[in-house]
Amino acid sequence: MRLFTAITFNEDILDSLYQVVSTLRPMTEKGSFSLKENLHVTLNFIGETDDAASVKKAMEEAASATGNKSFSITIEGFGRFKSGDGSICWMGIKKEEHLWRLQKELADRLTDAGFRLDKRDYAPHLTLARRVHFIKGFDIKEFSRSLPVFRQKVDKISLMKSERINGKLTYTEIYSVLLER
């Protein structure tokens, strides 16, 4: 199984975030846009493994080590990472200490369990689209200023499975750890 841990969104926030995707689409010549149901913030990408039990244990331990408390995140701004086949477009996640602590605790426990994780500094973001080529005259700063700010309470962390079903990239929650409200 191809696995990752993530923060998922409630239906109201998903609808609002997908409006951003819909607003971005006409500003591009082409791109691969995230499906509404796939919008999330990755905590740790794990990759191919059959050891979901160790991931679940690491999630439980990380939640406990950070007080098992819910917290809020703020989604704001717009940016892009340039790549060879276009840009990856994203919305940023405002620095929130509890999120960083939770992600680090989880990364440490996953590493201790033998998983090889990305060593780069954690840069949480919400991917809106990949392989994007913008129309002539697209103003990234103006587009960013036009976007609303979103806040959501994080009351669980999720273990997600990534797979292609009938040619469609599908993320399915297979486990979650609830955080106290």
Q: Is the pLDDT of residue 180 over 90?
A: no
Quote the mean pLDDT of the chain. Answer: 94
* The pLDDT of residue 105: 96
Q: Is the pLDDT of residue 181 over 90?
A: no
Provide the 8-state DSSP code for 69: B
CATH hierarchy code of domain 2-178: 3.90.1140.10
d(CA 130, CA 15): 20
Q: What angle do CA 95, 99, 105 make, to 5 degrees?
A: 130
Whose CA is closest to 148, among 77, 42, 51, 54?
77
d(CA 144, CA 29): 18
Q: What is the pLDDT of residues 83-125, one digit of tens each?
A: 888 999 999 999 999 999 999 999 999 999 999 998 889 999 9
Please give the model's pTM, rounded to 2 decimal places: 0.91
Any idea where the domains of the chain sit in the sequence? Answer: 2-178
Tokens for 137, please give them: 């005259």
Q: What is the pLDDT of residues 67-80, one digit of tens each?
A: 999 999 999 999 99
- Identify the three-state secondary structure at position 108: helix
